[in-house]
Chains A and B, each alone.
Chain A
Amino acid sequence: MLVFGFWTTKICNTRNCFNKIVLIALFSLTFHCNGFASIVCPDLKKILTKFDSPSRWFMLGKKCKVPAGARERLKEAIAISEAMSEHAQKQAARYDLLLPEDAGFLEGDEDEDTNTISQADIADAVDITSGSKYFNLHLSQFGPYRLDYSRTGRNLLVGGKKGHVACIDWQTKDLKCEMNVMETVNDVKWLHTEAMFAVAQKRWLYIYDSKGVELHCVKKFNDVLRMQFLPYHFLLATASATGFLQYLDVSIGKEVAAICTKMGRLDVMAQNPHNAVIHLGHPNGTVSLWSPNQKESLVKMLCHRGAVRSLAVDKTGTYMVTSGLDRKLKVYDIRAFKPLHSCFLPAGASCLSLSQRGLLSAATGEIVQVYQNVLGSNPVSKPYMAHRLRGQIWGLAYCPFEDVLGIGHGEGFTSMIVPGAGEPNFDALDTNPYRSHKQRQEWEVKALLEKVQPELIGLDPGQLSKVDQASFEQRHKEQIEALGFDPLAKDKFKPRTKKKGRSSAGAIEKRKRKVAHEDQRDEIRQSVQERTEREKELKEKSNEKKLGNKSTLDRFRK
């Protein structure tokens, strides 16, 4: 058995650590970039080094060629923009040197399956700090647990079905707060920082701070079953038992959108980190994609014959993994909406989770299986790792930037070591696991300034960088719809009040009639004129034809 992890990650200098790849891959920020050319996995890069110049990995979109007969100004504009983008690519490629860490991995001896290696063995083999990342929290009293890691991966939030909520700095095992809300807890979610979290309780949605003080009770959000937080939009998306998908802007505390999905109880939910689209799984085997800007689903896919049990979308927004009651596990290319492959899990997967580096964990009954290389065209054959637990599994989540999988189950919480799960290089300006209090505050301000508006959420995050090619009429129509009135409409004619009896009802009516339907009358007048002209022309032509080329004086000729 060979375990190698990157657990010895050092604290990087905030300024120096610039992670281009991670950033581009992160969701919703890519709306400037075109397509997937910018997203390159580290492994692919290593292959590319042999063949290509480094700036190739960071290529953004296609180069534009200068047309042959172009004007001087156009030539210049294109040349400048091309030069600038090339410069940017090169610089980004140069900064790639600052990503020194490699991902961890686990390797069995000859004829030893890695999935037979127990967690205890791994914990023994690795260094003490990493070994301590395998631990169990025995919390059998308050039922199966849901969990969520904060974006930096430092803090863990667990919520028991029977009301037990606790947040822990899981690396130091420092309990930040613990309480029992004395109500059913359906889901827990960190908000943008580890200072606040949302708890979906039996009736309303509650927001607590890290000390467990109740900050808000949002009564507009009732019967919430699942939640997703979109960090760059500061949106908390909730799916409720009543079939409503609601968006709460946590930066201003306003409900951005409430969509009635008309799909029944919504208890399967995932977000696409690439474009911030919410995926919902339904009992009729479909998966629907939603944005807050459209009252109907963007896309609806029939994925399973039975109900959809769980969903996961990978970091790059390329793949979606679903599992259903028909006990199938399917991998979709979510860009083309095409299934890549499917496999049959005898027990079926109740929970799915994808790690930053594309490891898939599936909860099958009491066993958690981790699969490698699922995202791709090759079907899976056997799990990479496996771990048996006691009690039903309720929640699965990979810890960001760590080789750790958190499992919430009936008997409490288990933290499992999965070498190679986490992204070894973090972007210190975006999510810094080692950030100080001051840095967090600064980041918060910057993140709020760079908040992406919810209007920009859509299937294609690069939509903003495209020219809107809708016709004027179409845009005008949309404008009318949005405003509720026609901004270009003429004011209605209002006759002036005249004195000396000339403003009698009849007179006013007469005056109105004079200008009534003026536009229409203009049009009609014009069309009539045109018609008469045309007829005239026709007549002349026909006359000419009748007479041939003879003039009237021709008859006097002999």
Chain B
Amino acid sequence: MQNENLVQISFFNQLMLVHPRKKQNERSEASVQVSEYFVNAEGTGDKVNLSDLLGTVEKTSGASNKTKKQLRNLQSSKETLELPLNKQQTEKIQRGIAYEKTTAEVSCWKNIILQNQKAEQMVFPLNQESSGPKRVEQVVAGWKVQTPLEQEIFRLLHGSRQPVNDPVLTPVEEQSLKAMSLEEAKIRRAELQKARALQSYYEAKAKREKKIKSKKYHKVQNKAKRKDFLKQFDEMVKTNPEGALEELKKMELSRMEERMSLKHQNSGKWAKSKAIMAKYDDSARKAMQEQLQMNKDLTQKMVVPSDDEHESIEEGLETVPDFVNDPETVIDPVNPWMRGQLTHEEPEVSCVTAEEVQTAEEENEEEEIIGEFERKRKLSEVVEEDVVEVSDKEEEDEDEEEDVSEFNTLFRLMRSEKTREGSNQTRGGLNTAGEEDEEGLLSEGQIRVRSIEDLEVLDEVVEPRAIEEPSAPQTAAAEATSEPPHKKKREINLKEVLTKEAKAVRLPFLPTVVDEEERDEQISIIKEAFAGDDVISDFIKDKSRQEAAGRPAVVDLTLPGWGEWGGVGLKPPRWKRKRFRIKTAPPPPRQDQKLPDVIISEKRTASVASHQVSQLPFPFQNTAQFESSIRTPIGSTWNTQTVVKNMTKPKVVTKLGAIIEPMVKEDFIKSKTTAAGDLVFLSNCPKKINFIIFFLLQTLSSIFVVSLLGCLLNVPT
């Protein structure tokens, strides 16, 4: 029964769905006599039987035996057809089927709806086209050949086997392009970003540097430029010797001028005044030294490095005595005035790196860091020394010469580096001897008195130190042979030479740790002082009072009853007390239970409560979950700009003025079914031609285009 029913259902279903409302065509019998007055059919009163109709089948030879057999069986069968279902039931079945159908239809929306519900942000209208310029293919897509001119053009194109109908990429191709481009685009974007950032940094730097007014800064800058120039000059010697010669001549000229003038000889008015001050003033002395240095630099004779290798070596050997001639090692190492070469600024800078290398080998990390700081400090000092210079008047005049002189020093430095190998040994020997003496003598002034104790021990200390010290530099000097030649020598250091400042005696600052005895004394004194007010017991009393106030009071509901005594000072009977005095549960332990010297108020702060969340919001099951979900603040005070934007982005974004239409099935189904399809090969060139034609047609006259195309494709028109 059930099976049959099912069959019926499916039959109905088919009927319903295939021809839901098809009217049966009226059948009209063809008759012999056609008259407009009557329609006659033969044997209208007779009933037509199945056998009548099928009888002919038996006779026809063409019909298959199988069908004949089936028909025979049909004829012989006695079973009757069942009654069709009544109307209500059929309708019920129909409704069921319709429901199933519609649920299947609607359920395909389920996913997208869920997805949209979950989405952090919805942007309406959906499926927005990306803004910005479109590709030409997309613009051309809707275009069809219409005019005879266009037809002619496309005939031409056909002749040259160009794809005509669909100049646009197939969706597959487009997708593959997209997929390809994503990573590349990312990389490219990153590159661009980097480039842009670098550019902006560079621009900002340039701008900032341009604005800097500091003379010192520009001086340093100029120095760097000069170094560059020096390099260029080096190349120029090789490549363009004439230009180099000219440069050299310029230098020579400046040297001559310097030699002629009395500048930087410390003979001017200013220099004399400084000479008087120099005894006491550090900066004045420095300034004078600088002047001398400048003079020396400027008057230094240039040696033209020639191209010939042989010569250069010879010259290198010749330059060695330059240092030997220096007066510094000769007579009195203590007297700084006897030295010609007073400060070595540039060499010092250069040797720092070498020092650093050494320290890196020898010392551990921390020391290295400290060394680095030291180096920075030295550098800054060096730069400062540059700044502290002569008075303003002179400075202006000097600028040019300074440039030249510094260039000269650099030049010399370069030259000395060339010749270092040859001269290293001799010079090392000379230096060590000089340094030894010098340091030994200087060390006398180096003891600093810091406190009274130091003063007391001063006498004892002085001698051994003076003996000990010279030994140390010796080892240092031994090491120094391997070191680069220009070591930092600050001959005149007021702090080291003059002990005037070291006499500053300070009181030893108060010790923080006190002996036990003293302490006891102090305590007793304090005890005396505060004998009256017992601070601790007061505090304990206060605390116990607070604790008592926090405890819940016992509720007494006892009432005097019949037969009881009345009056003052009577206790209610025991059973009554037991029954009618209600004790409430003890409160949770106090926060300050284990802190004897602290009272923490147990009062609830109701003021915050009005701002707090009092009921757990929906999806959360306990407070911990909720609290952890809001633990990250969203304000810009705690977060970066991007994070704030991300965290506070609106749930729904609508485009202003755009019509938001209801979602269509194709919107989300389309995206799933774009996988199929084959890739159509489209060469680049014809595509290009297509576009060219398109635009030419729009702009130029038709005949011109046709002829132009003929030329392009070499096809006779």
Interface residue ranges, A against B (CB under 8 Å): 2, 4, 15, 18, 20, 23-24, 29, 32-34, 60-64, 67, 70-71, 73-74, 76-78, 80-81, 84-85, 87-89, 91-92, 94-95, 107, 112-113, 115-116, 118, 127, 284-286, 291, 293-294, 296-303, 305-306, 325-327, 337-338, 343-347, 364, 367, 369, 380-383, 386, 388, 429-430, 450, 453, 455-456, 458, 463-470, 474-475, 478, 481-482
Taking the closest CB of chain B, its distance from the CB of A83, in whole angstroms, is: 10
Taking the closest CB of chain A, its distance from the CB of B68, in whole angstroms, is: 66
Q: Check A2–B601 contact: CB distance below 8 A.
A: no
The complex places the Cα of A453 from the Cα of B608 at a distance, in Å, of 10
Q: Which residues of A contact B380 (CB under 8 A)?
A: 127
Q: Check B608–A20 contact: CB distance below 8 A.
A: no
Q: Which residues of A contact B451 (CB under 8 A)?
A: 116
Q: Does B699 contact A (CB under 8 A)?
A: no
Q: Contacts A95-B640, A347-B510 given; indicate if A302 touches B611 (C-beta within 8 A).
A: no
Q: Which residues of B contact A113 (CB under 8 A)?
A: 450
Q: Check A299–B605 contact: CB distance below 8 A.
A: no
Q: Does B331 contact A (CB under 8 A)?
A: no
Q: Which residues of B contact A94 (CB under 8 A)?
A: 640
Q: Contacts A78-B625, A294-B605 given; indicate if A73 touches B632 (C-beta within 8 A).
A: no
Nearest first, the 8 closest Cβ-Cβ pairs linking A and B are: A32-B633, A64-B628, A85-B632, A455-B607, A81-B629, A468-B612, A61-B631, A293-B607
Q: Which residues of B contact A301 (CB under 8 A)?
A: 597-599
Q: Contacts A380-B512, A467-B616 given; indicate if A475 touches B609 (C-beta within 8 A).
A: yes
Q: Check A465–B627 contact: CB distance below 8 A.
A: yes
Q: Check A77–B620 contact: CB distance below 8 A.
A: yes
Q: Check B598–A305 contact: CB distance below 8 A.
A: no
- Cβ-defined partner of A88 (8 Å) among B604, B627, B643: B643
Taking the closest CB of chain A, its distance from the CB of B11, in whole angstroms, is: 43
Q: Check B627–A306 contact: CB distance below 8 A.
A: no
Q: Check A84–B647 contact: CB distance below 8 A.
A: yes
Q: Check B370–A467 contact: CB distance below 8 A.
A: no
Q: Check B597–A302 contact: CB distance below 8 A.
A: yes
Chain B, residue nearest A87 (CB):
B643
Q: Check B627–A302 contact: CB distance below 8 A.
A: no
Q: Which residues of A contact B646 (CB under 8 A)?
A: 84, 87
Residue-wise, chain B 601-625 has the 8 Å CB interface mask toward A (1 for contact) of 1011111111111101011110111
Q: Which residues of B contact A343 (CB under 8 A)?
A: 512-513
The complex places the Cα of A159 from the Cα of B639 at a distance, in Å, of 39
- Cβ-defined partner of B535 (8 Å) among A73, A92, A284: A284
The complex places the Cα of A380 from the Cα of B514 at a distance, in Å, of 12
Q: Which residues of A contact B616 (CB under 8 A)?
A: 467
Taking the closest CB of chain B, its distance from the CB of A392, in whole angstroms, is: 16
Q: Check B512–A467 contact: CB distance below 8 A.
A: no
Q: Which residues of B565-600 have CB atoms within 8 Å of chain A's CB atoms? A: 592, 595, 597-600
Q: Contacts A284-B538, A305-B530, A468-B614 given; indicate if A299 touches B601 (C-beta within 8 A).
A: yes
Q: Which residues of A contact B530 (CB under 8 A)?
A: 305-306, 326
Taking the closest CB of chain A, its distance from the CB of B455, in whole angstroms, is: 13
Taking the closest CB of chain A, its distance from the CB of B114, in whole angstroms, is: 10
Q: Check A297–B601 contact: CB distance below 8 A.
A: yes
Q: Which residues of B contact A74 (CB under 8 A)?
A: 619-621, 625
Sorting the interface of chain B by its residue count into under 10, 10 to 19, 20 to 34 or 35 or more gives 35 or more
The complex places the Cα of A64 from the Cα of B606 at a distance, in Å, of 28
Q: Which residues of B contact A306 (CB under 8 A)?
A: 526, 529-530, 535
- Cβ-defined partner of B606 (8 Å) among A80, A85, A482: A482
Chain A, residue nearest B632 (CB):
A85
Additional A-B contact list (17), CB under 8 Å, known A85-B631, A91-B642: A2-B370, A23-B637, A29-B638, A32-B630, A34-B627, A64-B624, A67-B621, A107-B370, A118-B506, A293-B605, A296-B601, A337-B595, A343-B513, A381-B512, A458-B607, A465-B631, A478-B609
Q: Check A337–B598 contact: CB distance below 8 A.
A: yes
The complex places the Cα of A32 from the Cα of B636 at a distance, in Å, of 13
The complex places the Cα of A463 from the Cα of B592 at a distance, in Å, of 19
List 24 A–B pairs whose Cβ atoms lie within 8 Å, in order of A's numbering.
A61-B631, A74-B621, A77-B620, A81-B628, A87-B646, A92-B639, A285-B539, A299-B600, A301-B597, A326-B530, A337-B598, A337-B600, A343-B512, A344-B512, A344-B519, A346-B510, A346-B511, A369-B509, A369-B510, A463-B608, A464-B608, A467-B616, A467-B623, A467-B627
Q: Check A296–B640 contact: CB distance below 8 A.
A: no
The complex places the Cα of A369 from the Cα of B508 at a distance, in Å, of 12
Q: Check B631–A475 contact: CB distance below 8 A.
A: no
Q: Which residues of A contact B377 (CB under 8 A)?
A: 2, 4
Q: Which residues of A contact B529 (CB under 8 A)?
A: 306, 325
Taking the closest CB of chain A, its distance from the CB of B1, in whole angstroms, is: 44
Taking the closest CB of chain A, its distance from the CB of B368, in whole angstroms, is: 14
Taking the closest CB of chain A, its distance from the CB of B39, in whole angstroms, is: 74
- Cβ-defined partner of A285 (8 Å) among B118, B535, B624: B535
Chain B, residue nearest A327 (CB):
B522
- Cβ-defined partner of A467 (8 Å) among B450, B542, B614, B635: B614
Residue among A84, A364, A453 with the highest chain B CB neighbour number at 10 A? A84
- Cβ-defined partner of A468 (8 Å) among B538, B613, B621, B628: B613
Chain B, residue nearest A284 (CB):
B535
Q: Which residues of A contact B539 (CB under 8 A)?
A: 284-286, 300, 302
The complex places the Cα of A423 from the Cα of B67 at a distance, in Å, of 105
- Cβ-defined partner of B628 (8 Å) among A32, A63, A76, A298: A63
Taking the closest CB of chain A, its distance from the CB of B497, in whole angstroms, is: 16
Q: Check B618–A73 contact: CB distance below 8 A.
A: yes
Taking the closest CB of chain B, its distance from the CB of A397, in whole angstroms, is: 22
Q: Check B535–A305 contact: CB distance below 8 A.
A: yes
Q: Does B504 contact A (CB under 8 A)?
A: yes
Q: Check A127–B623 contact: CB distance below 8 A.
A: no
Q: Which residues of B contact A481 (CB under 8 A)?
A: 606
Q: Which residues of A contact B611 (CB under 8 A)?
A: 453, 455-456, 464
Q: Which residues of B366-385 have CB atoms within 8 Å of chain A's CB atoms? A: 370, 373-374, 377, 380, 384
Q: Check A300–B631 contact: CB distance below 8 A.
A: no
Q: Does B536 contact A (CB under 8 A)?
A: yes
Q: Which residues of B contact A2 (CB under 8 A)?
A: 370, 373-374, 377
Chain A, residue nearest B618 (CB):
A73
Q: Check A382–B603 contact: CB distance below 8 A.
A: no
The complex places the Cα of A61 from the Cα of B628 at a distance, in Å, of 7
Taking the closest CB of chain A, its distance from the CB of B623, in whole angstroms, is: 4
Taking the closest CB of chain A, its distance from the CB of B518, in whole angstroms, is: 8
Q: Contacts A78-B629, A284-B533 given; indicate if A458 touches B512 (C-beta within 8 A).
A: no
Chain A, residue nearest B540 (CB):
A302
- Cβ-defined partner of A18 (8 Å) among B511, B595, B603, B640: B640
Q: Which residues of A contact B647 (CB under 8 A)?
A: 84, 88
Q: Which residues of B contact A78 (CB under 8 A)?
A: 625, 628-629
The complex places the Cα of A317 from the Cα of B114 at a distance, in Å, of 47
Q: Contacts A300-B598, A386-B509 given; indicate if A33 touches B514 (C-beta within 8 A).
A: no
Chain A, residue nearest B508 (CB):
A116
Taking the closest CB of chain A, its distance from the CB of B603, in whole angstroms, is: 6
Q: Check B538–A338 contact: CB distance below 8 A.
A: no
Q: Check A116–B506 contact: CB distance below 8 A.
A: yes
Residue-wise, chain B 441-473 has the 8 Å CB interface mask toward A (1 for contact) of 000000000110000000000000000000000
Q: Does B217 contact A (CB under 8 A)?
A: no
Q: Which residues of B324-339 have CB atoms within 8 Å of chain A's CB atoms? A: none
Taking the closest CB of chain A, its distance from the CB of B34, in whole angstroms, is: 78
Q: Check B608–A458 contact: CB distance below 8 A.
A: yes
Q: Which residues of A contact B633 (CB under 8 A)?
A: 32-33, 60
The complex places the Cα of A4 from the Cα of B529 at a distance, in Å, of 46
Residue among B377, B626, B628 with the highest chain A CB neighbour number at 10 A? B628
Taking the closest CB of chain B, its distance from the CB of A467, in whole angstroms, is: 4
Chain B, residue nearest A303 (CB):
B597
The complex places the Cα of A326 from the Cα of B530 at a distance, in Å, of 9
Q: Which residues of A contact B640 (CB under 8 A)?
A: 18, 88, 91-92, 94-95
Taking the closest CB of chain A, its distance from the CB of B353, in whole angstroms, is: 21
